Amino acid sequence: MTDLADIHWTKICEPGELTVGERREATLDNGQMVLVIRTPDLLRACPADCPHQDTPLLDEGLVDGNVLTCTAHYWQWNLETGEALEGAEMPLPLFPVRESEEGIFVGYAQA
């Protein structure tokens, strides 16, 4: 497990810019593309592309409650835990997310 002191935070947007049901692609300071998703219950970030065949989840991803489905091959994940659900053969990596009056930030471990 990564110590929070080793996390680098990239600002994604201003507070309130990502409303319930919205998804946004963003580039972290290390160049990695992520998809930030707000559901009624969660604010999560995952890789921008499906781990199966690099299908862009902004285009092919469908969010229903706290479940993300890649409609290209119907892989599904629990957005709360990243756990693989129907069809998925691997978990979905999740990035730490924090929200404050300064904005929405996604973190990644520094090398």
pLDDT of residue 62: 95
Determine the distance from the C-alpha atom of residue 108 to the mean position of all C-alpha atoms in its chain, rounded to a whole number: 12
6-48: per-residue pLDDT in tens?
899 999 999 999 999 999 999 999 999 999 999 999 999 999 9
Please state, in angstroms and rounded to a whole number, the distance separating the CA atoms of residues 54 and 47: 9
Using DSSP's 3-state secondary structure scheme, residue 5 falls into: helix
55-93: per-residue pLDDT in tens?
999 999 999 999 999 999 999 999 999 999 989 999 999
| DSSP letters spanning 41-109 | S-EEEEESB-TTT--BHHHHEEEETTEEEETTTTEEEETTT--B-TT-SSPPP-B-EEEETTEEEEEEE
The token pair at 5 is: 């002191």
Q: Is there a contact between 56 and 49 (Cβ–Cβ < 8 Å)? A: yes
Confidence label for 110 from pLDDT (cuts 50, 70 and 90): confident
Output the average pLDDT for the chain.
93
Confidence label for 1 from pLDDT (cuts 50, 70 and 90): very low
Q: Is there a contact between 71 and 110 (Cβ–Cβ < 8 Å)? A: no
- Phi, then psi, of 5 in degrees rounded to 5: -65, -20
